[in-house]
Amino acid sequence: MLEIHDLHVAVGDKEILKGVSLTLKQGEVHALMGPNGSGKSTLSYAIMGHPKYTVTKGSISLDGKNVLEMPVNERAKAGLFLSFQYPSEIAGVGLASFLRTAYNERTGSKIGPMEFMKTLYEKMALLKMDKDFAKRNVNVGFSGGEKKRNEILQMAVLSPKYTILDETDSGLDVDSLKIVSEGVNALSGPNMGVLIITHYQRILNYIAPDFVHVLVNGKIVKSGGKELALHIEQHGYDKVV
Amino acid sequence: MEPSEVVAEYKYGFFDPEKFSFKTEKGLTEETIRQISHIKKEPDWMLDLRLKAFKIYKEKSMPKWGADLSSIDFENIYYYGKPEGEQAQSWDDVPKDIRNTFDRLGIPEAEKKFLAGVGAQYESEVVYHKLREDLEKKGVVFLDMDGGLREYPEIVKKWFTKIIPIHDNKFAALNTAVWSGGSFIYVPPGVKVDLPLQAYFRINAKNIGQFERTLIIADKGSYIHYVEGCTAPVYSTDSLHSAVVELVALEDATIRYTTIQNWSSNVYNLVTKRAHAYARSRVEWIDGNLGSKITMKYPAVFLMGEGAHGEVISVAFAGKGQHQDAGAKILHLAPNTTSQITSKSVSKDGGKTTYRGLLYVQKGCRNVKSRVSCDALILDKNSSSDTVPYMDVKENDVSIGHEASVGRVSEEQLFYLMSRGFSEEMAIALIVRGFMEPFVRELPMEYAIELNRLIELSMEGSVG
């Protein structure tokens, strides 16, 4: 269980999140919706531990362990995964060797390149990615859609317990969105909890959420089922608040 | 321990007992030079050349630019030291201590696996030398420079000091005065040497100077890849390594010259390297500088004939107490010539890197194409990097591109990698490795693996 309790987060002197509480269980899909500037991405960065985001109050725990005390890499090893809105480019580093190291860190194993390629190609097929992709440098020269697909590929390889999809739908055309969503659906199951962070309802047509939360001005102002997302789609955020 | 106090492990810092069969007195006089020439039983013309060079060396001032060389104590250096034993063609005949050293450096093993020939220099002399038999039969010559002078005096006389004149700079003059060892290579027309030839340079004794001299002549249409490596023990007093390397690529020949310099942190490494590239030939310097206290080295290609191509791909890694002042020189002296300079440098723990380059195009050399790119990565606040790219282009009908960047590891990249399970240290090492990849991919696989390992070792203790 990923438990976020009364979380306050500041960037510099500015408080962005003003007491957010949310509980994500393995097997559940939650959607966090909100207008621009509501603090959606701040929540995802704070959970993963970006050094610019300071938690001033509240707690995050993962299966009972205090996440806030863990360095970023320990959070990843414990089973947290963040699909970035803007993934970094790592020049000169091949995707396959990068992912193999990440895999070995996450699982504590020492799997060799040959054996790893089998796993990697399997997951790539699932996301309809060409094998050549594995040879490319991490995110270098990738299109927006390729970057997002690559994030989901990493999720597939690392099999996290809890995944945060930060605006994964932004910048994706319909076909890519479909492939990415199908990938998430195929991979999520009783062992993975998913938190979808999005501005629009669109992605929720493909990945059905169990719960929808609306974040406005650093606070969750409303929670409900799938129908809440449709309601927002029809009436806008203003009417919901 | 403060991060700046952490010194990366240098695994080549071991040493053997000093066993010389002959060593000159400390310091350098005309008598020292006569002794060196005498013990080598050289022809008179070489002694005369040495003495002439010594005179020029004394007259020349120290370079007024580049790294700080003021603490070199020239009086406290042994300019020649001959280790015990004679040059061997079999490792079994190499004295035990020396053999053990090269075993630890992995040279005999590499020779068996992926080299066409090996020369191993210890202090001032080459103690082991061997070329694969089939290449010998094809007329390839791979000797130490002393052997080259003995057996091919006409070729040596023709080219020695013709690429790098004695008066080129103070250290070229010094080398010409006291040179010993190094490689002499001749590749006959049309012969392609399929595997690299390697020379390994090892300094063992304290306060020794190593002044090897290398001359490579690739005759028309031939191909040769030469690789050199170098290490030394760590001493509290300084050593001096000052080599001169002259390359001649005749028409349609290719020379690739790869260096992995990993001297210990008490070695001054002041080297002059230059190639003459004739029509349609190709010269590539693949130059890796990881070690030494101070390096000043700017491999050069003079493009003498139409259609010639020159390339310098280099990396410099400067850690605590190190200054890597390195770069490249390309002179376009004929039309339709092309060149590329790619320089990558990393500085950390107070280290300093300087890229210093010259690109020259002579008037009338039309349709010259050149691309220069230099990137520096600075890993902490105490470290620094400079770029000094000179361009002197006297012709209009040319296409020249230049790009330079200086960067630090970004917080976003670190966060991204750490979010995938990499520790901070692993993440920085991965970024550095990726940064150096354009250089590493030019190396034969075995060296690429070794270099990546060296980079990882150098990165240990990067994070406090």
Q: Which has the closest alpha carbon to B270: B292, B252, B255? A: B292
Maximum distance among all alpha carbons in chain B?
A: 69
B203-252 residue pLDDT tens? 999 999 999 999 999 999 999 999 999 999 998 899 999 999 999 999 99
Q: How far is CA B227 from CA A104, A231, B222, in A?
A: 35, 70, 17
Q: Which of A50-64, B250-264, B337-351, B432-446 has the lowest mean pLDDT?
A: B432-446
**Contact at CB, B424 and A154, closer than 8 angstroms:** no
The answer to the question of residue B272 being in a domain is: yes
Please tell me the distance from the alpha carbon of residue B325 to that of residue B313, in angstroms, as a whole number.
15
> Per-residue pLDDT for B260 more than 90?
yes
Across A195-223, average pLDDT: 93
Same domain, B294 and B332: yes
A105 to chain B, minimum CA–CA distance in Å?
6
Same domain, B161 and B279: yes
A79 to chain B, minimum CA–CA distance in Å?
10
Q: What is the CA radius of gyration of chain A?
A: 18
SS (H, E, C) B46-113: HHHHHHHHHHHHHHCCCCCCCCCCCCCCHHHCECCEEECCCCECCHHHCCHHHHHHHHHCCHHHHHHH
The answer to the question of residue B5 being in a domain is: no
B6-59 residue pLDDT tens? 345 688 888 998 999 999 999 999 999 999 999 999 999 999 999 999 999 999
Domain A26-89+147-152+160-240 CATH superfamily: P-loop containing nucleotide triphosphate hydrolases (3.40.50.300)
Same domain, B318 and B418: no
Mean pLDDT of chain B: 94
The residue among B410, B427, B446 that closes a domain is B410
Report the percent of chain A where pLDDT is more than 70: 100
Please tell me the distance from the alpha carbon of residue A236 to that of residue B5, in angstroms, as a whole number.
58
The answer to the question of residue B44 being in a domain is: yes
The answer to the question of residue B219 being in a domain is: yes
Across A38-56, average pLDDT: 96
Please tell me the distance from the alpha carbon of residue B141 to that of residue B148, in angstroms, as a whole number.
8
Which chain B residues are within 8 Å of A49, Cβ to Cβ?
415, 418-419
- Interface residue ranges in chain A relative to chain B, Cβ cutoff 8 Å: 48-52, 71-73, 75-77, 81-82, 84, 87-88, 90-93, 98, 101-102, 105-106, 137, 154, 158
Q: Which has the closest alpha carbon to A200: A220, A240, A173, A230? A: A230
Across A39-53, average pLDDT: 96
Please tell me the distance from the alpha carbon of residue B100 to that of residue B89, in angstroms, as a whole number.
16
> Per-residue pLDDT for A77 more than 60?
yes
A115 to chain B, minimum CA–CA distance in Å?
20
Of B421, B433, B434, the CB nearest to A105: B421
> Per-residue pLDDT for A240 more than 80?
no
**Contact at CB, B415 and A51, closer than 8 angstroms:** yes
B154-167 residue pLDDT tens? 999 999 999 999 99
Residue with tokens 């509480």: A21
Tokens of A82: 């963040």
**Contact at CB, A158 and B420, closer than 8 angstroms:** yes
Report the percent of chain B where pLDDT is more than 70: 97
What are the residue ranges spanned by the domains of chain A? 26-89+147-152+160-240
Which chain B residues are within 8 Å of A42, Cβ to Cβ?
none
**Contact at CB, B419 and A92, closer than 8 angstroms:** no
Where do the DSSP E strands lie in B254-337? Answer: 254-261, 267-277, 282-289, 294-297, 300-303, 309-318, 323-332
Which chain B residues are within 8 Å of A105, Cβ to Cβ?
420-423, 426
Q: Which residue of B has its CA nearest to A93?
A: B434
Q: Which residue of A has its CA nearest to B437?
A: A92
Q: Which of A198-207, B285-294, B374-383 has the lowest mean pLDDT?
A: A198-207
Checking ipTM against 0.85, whether it exceeds it is yes
A179 to chain B, minimum CA–CA distance in Å?
22
**Contact at CB, B419 and A82, closer than 8 angstroms:** yes
Q: Tell me the pTM.
A: 0.89
Same domain, B202 and B286: yes
- Interface residue ranges in chain B relative to chain A, Cβ cutoff 8 Å: 410-413, 415-424, 426, 430-431, 433-438
- Domains in chain B: how many in total? 2
Same domain, B162 and B110: yes
Report residue A233's pLDDT band, with 50, 70 and 90 as the boundaries. confident
- Per-residue buried b or exposed e for B47-58, using 16+ beta carbons within 10 Å of the residue's own CB: bebbebbbebbe
Same domain, B210 and B85: yes
Same domain, B98 and B247: yes
Quote the pLDDT of residue B446.
85
Same domain, B206 and B268: yes
Same domain, B405 and B430: no
The answer to the question of residue B7 being in a domain is: no
Report residue A241's pLDDT band, with 50, 70 and 90 as the boundaries. low
> Per-residue pLDDT for B464 more than 60?
no
B3 to chain A, minimum CA–CA distance in Å?
19
**Torsion over CA: B436, B441, B443, B448 (sign):** positive
Of B411, B421, B430, the CB nearest to A90: B430
A99 to chain B, minimum CA–CA distance in Å?
8
Which residues are B393's β-sheet partners?
B361
Please tell me the distance from the alpha carbon of residue A196 to that of residue A177, in angstroms, as a whole number.
13
Where do the DSSP E strands lie in chain A? Answer: 2-11, 14-24, 29-33, 53-62, 65-66, 80-83, 90-94, 137-138, 162-166, 193-198, 211-216, 219-224
Of B413, B419, B435, the CB nearest to A76: B419
B64 to chain A, minimum CA–CA distance in Å?
37
Same domain, B205 and B61: yes
Report the percent of chain B where pLDDT is more than 90: 89
Where do the DSSP E strands lie in B135-182? Answer: 141-144
Quote the pLDDT of residue B8.
52
**Contact at CB, B410 and A88, closer than 8 angstroms:** yes
Mean pLDDT of chain A: 93
Same domain, B120 and B194: yes
- Select from B375, B411, B416, B443 the residue whose CB has the most chain A CBs within 10 Å, as the one to mutate to test that interface: B416
Which residues are B225's β-sheet partners?
B256
Same domain, B305 and B429: no
Domain, as residue range, for B462: 411-464
Which chain B residues are within 8 Å of A90, Cβ to Cβ?
413, 416-417, 430-431, 434
Across B314-333, average pLDDT: 96
Of A49, A77, A88, the CB nearest to B412: A88
Across B325-349, average pLDDT: 97
> Per-residue pLDDT for B124 more than 60?
yes
Beta strands at B20-23 and A219-224: parallel, antiparallel or unpaired: unpaired
Indicate the angle between helix axes B96-104 and B107-114, nearest 10 degrees. Answer: 60
Q: What is the CA radius of gyration of chain B?
A: 21
